[in-house]
Amino acid sequence: MQPSNLKDIRWQGDSRKRAHAFPKGARIILGKELTRIQIGLQPRDGDWLTSVGRGVQEIRIAYSKEAYRVVYVASIGDCIYVLHAFHKKSKAGVATPQQELDIAKQRYRELMRGMKQ
């Protein structure tokens, strides 16, 4: 597949800044996962986040005994919209912290409002 066929990545809010703050190894994994999504594949380790919005998924990155998450939607047009990126520090279980989900939900709503205009 030629690079011109790759979906564009559009970063919402401070998601790019947050992802760039990940350790180098986690950023490399993220880059590979985003490339998979750009060519139409699913991430190696991901999950649907239907509570955030229609078509919203997360990339799960495990690196150096730490967990990182990137929430995105790739089902709108020819772009991948990265809604949120964060270091998962939850001490209680495997669930994504509600505060992080709320940020992703807000950005999804803003994206949808912008699409309707």
Domain count, the chain: 1
CB-based burial label for 21 (10 Å; 0-12, 13-18, 19+): middle
What is the β-pairing status of strands 8-11 and 46-48? Answer: unpaired
Whether residue 117 is predicted with pLDDT greater than 90 in this model: the reply is no
- The 10s digit of each residue's pLDDT in 30-81 is 999 999 999 999 999 999 999 999 999 999 999 999 999 999 999 888 899 9
Q: Are 81 and 10 in contact (CB under 8 A)?
A: yes
- The 10s digit of each residue's pLDDT in 75-109 is 888 899 999 999 998 665 677 889 999 999 999 99
Q: Are 27 and 19 in contact (CB under 8 A)?
A: yes
Q: What per-residue string of b and e applies to 30-47 under the rule 16 or more CB within 10 Å gives b?
A: beebbeebbeeeebeebe
For the domain that residue 72 is a member of, what is the CATH number?
A: 3.30.2310.20
For residue 75, the enclosing domain spans: 3-116
CA angle 104-108-112, nearest 5°?
Answer: 175
